[in-house]
A and B are shown apart, each in its own frame.
Chain A
Amino acid sequence: MDEVVPGAETEHGHVGTSEQSENPPDAPPASQDPSVVLDAAVGAAALAAAAAQLVGRRVGQAVSPVRRRVGGVLSPVAVVILRPPMLAERYQAATWLEGLARRGGQGRAELARQLSVALDRMVPAVADEVLARIDMAGLAEGVIAEVDLAEMIRQSTGSVASDTVRGVRMQGISGDEAVGRVVARLRLRRPRAEPEMTPQQP
């Protein structure tokens, strides 16, 4: 494997850290391709997610005994907050949360229905356009030529007749070519007289 030298230039362009070596550290950054920025953003997000997952796991391990003890204390408190006994049921926070959840569920169902309707309209049109741009017959022809479908059909049906017919046809073609060669050879032996050589009629 060839060793890649930083800053070296190949036929495909720069390799390694060539741009870093060409640009001074205090120079403004060169215009970046949007895809590079996007890749960097995705990479940063992935890094942040991984870090958050790691931190969460460590903290979870550390506070797990505390959480069990605190959970037993906080659970009745949460019930009191969500369902305060002095308030009517319609003014309780839990009732509001249930209403919000119900509305959100309805919105999600409506969104799913609209998405389904849109897909039902779009997918056939898109599929038609895609299929119109694909030469299905040529594709099938290529596949058949590749797998020799005729041979498979012939073998599967075991048709001796088609074998015979094919042999007769090929022999006929060979005969045609042989006759053509003989006629061509005869023509070469007896070339036509040149127009200047023909005797002039009186």
Chain B
Amino acid sequence: MRTDVPVWVVPREGLQYQGRRAGLVTRSIAGVIDGVVVVVAVLAGYVGVNGLRFLVRPRTFQFSEASPLPSVAIFLLVLVGYFFVAWSITGRTYGCHLMGLRVVGRRGGRPGPLVALLRALFCVVFPLGLLWCAGGRQHSVQDVVLRTSVIYDWRPGSPR
């Protein structure tokens, strides 16, 4: 009995788009959601660290100064880590999950750890490469260089 084929629970109007490459609008929205997620995570980390400091030295506690440059560096670092972990494990970040997107490798499967790491670095260092996917083939610069694709995939779970 064939049990390896998943049963799709996809609404009827979205069926025809499954597996197609996603365009600029959807990917931009997913990117903005991911940015918000990472900002919230960094802020939560900041609050958590200060909470620990308060627990250790409550009398002399003061909020640590958040200078712009280290904050941005931490944000970018967390963003790279977030992209790397999400793409290498499930092929989708939270923004991709909400927008029904998935990053796939050249063979249509989940990208490998090295590709995921390079793509994460590339996306964080050069986010404007996303604009390239407004072209006909809907590939960003990162996709062209690393031979990856971002497709509509509303199915739950990971690709095989």
Contacts and interface: CB of A to CB of B under 8 A. Distances in A.
Interface of A: 128, 131-132, 134-138, 140-141, 144-145, 148-151, 153-154, 165-166, 168-170, 172-173, 175-180, 183-184, 187
B23 A166 contact: no
Contact of B136 (A151, A172, A183): A183
B57 interface: no
21 contacts: A128-B1, A131-B1, A132-B2, A134-B1, A137-B3, A137-B5, A140-B7, A144-B7, A148-B12, A150-B12, A169-B14, A169-B26, A169-B99, A170-B13, A170-B14, A176-B24, A176-B138, A177-B23, A179-B134, A180-B23, A183-B136
Given A168-B99, A176-B23, 15 more contacts: A132-B2, A141-B8, A151-B12, A154-B11, A169-B99, A169-B154, A173-B17, A173-B23, A173-B26, A175-B23, A175-B24, A176-B25, A178-B25, A179-B24, A183-B134
Contacts of A177: 23
Contacts, number: 82
A172 B11 contact: no
A169 B7 CA distance: 20
A88 B6 CA distance: 77
A132 B3 CA distance: 10
| Chain A interface, DSSP helix/strand/loop, else mixed | helix
Interface residues of B, number: 30
B149 to A, nearest CB: 14
B157 to A, nearest CB: 14
